[in-house]
C-alpha cells in the first residue's frame, strides 16, 4: 500500500512539473529527464545554467537550491513562503503552481 501511495505522489509531482514547465514556455517532457529538469528549473528561476554544477557539491547544493526555489516562486508571482513550501512539500505546492492561476512572469533583475 505504501509503495502505491509513493508512486501516486511521484506521478502527481511529475505531471505537475510538466505543466509548470509548459507554463514557463519550456517543453513539458523535460520534467522526465534527470539533471536536465534541474537545468530547466534554473532557467525558469532566471539563474545561469552553470549553477547546475553547484548542485553536485554537498552543502553548497542546499544553499543554491533554496536560492533557486525562491527565484522560481517569485517568477510565478509567489512569495518566499511559497518557495519554502516548494522545498519541503513539493507534492502539495508544485500542483498548486501547475493547476492554479499562477502565471509565469519573470522578475526583472
Quick one: pLDDT at residue 108?
66
Structural domain that includes position 8 = 2-99
Quick one: pLDDT at residue 107?
81
| Short-list 80, 78, 79, 84, CA closest to 101 | 78
Report the number of distinct structural domains present in the chain.
Answer: 1
Per-residue pLDDT of the chain (109 residues; tens, 9 = 90+): 889 999 999 999 999 999 999 999 999 999 999 999 999 999 999 999 999 999 999 999 999 999 999 999 999 999 999 999 999 999 999 999 999 999 999 886 6
Question: Which residues, at least 6 apart from 84, have a Cβ–Cβ distance to it below 8 Å?
Answer: 69
- Residue 105 falls inside a structural domain: no
Question: Which residues, at least 6 apart from 46, have a Cβ–Cβ distance to it below 8 Å?
Answer: 71, 75, 106, 107, 109
- Residue 94 falls inside a structural domain: yes
- Residue 106 falls inside a structural domain: no
- Residue 62 falls inside a structural domain: yes
DSSP summary character for residue 47 = -
Asked if 99 and 106 touch (Cβ cutoff 8 Å), the reply is no
What cell does 64 get?
543554491
Amino acid at each position: 500500500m505504501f509503495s502505491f501511495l509513493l508512486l501516486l505522489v511521484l506521478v502527481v509531482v511529475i505531471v505537475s512539473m510538466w505543466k509548470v514547465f509548459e507554463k514557463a514556455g519550456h517543453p513539458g517532457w523535460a520534467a522526465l529527464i534527470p539533471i536536465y529538469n534541474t537545468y530547466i528549473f534554473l532557467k525558469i528561476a532566471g539563474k545561469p545554467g552553470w549553477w547546475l554544477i553547484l548542485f553536485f557539491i554537498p552543502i553548497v547544493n542546499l544553499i543554491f537550491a533554496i536560492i533557486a526555489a525562491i527565484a522560481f516562486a517569485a517568477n510565478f508571482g509567489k512569495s518566499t513562503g511559497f518557495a519554502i513550501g516548494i522545498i519541503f512539500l513539493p507534492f502539495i505546492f508544485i500542483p498548486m503552481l501547475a493547476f492554479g492561476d499562477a502565471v509565469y512572469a519573470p522578475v526583472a533583475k
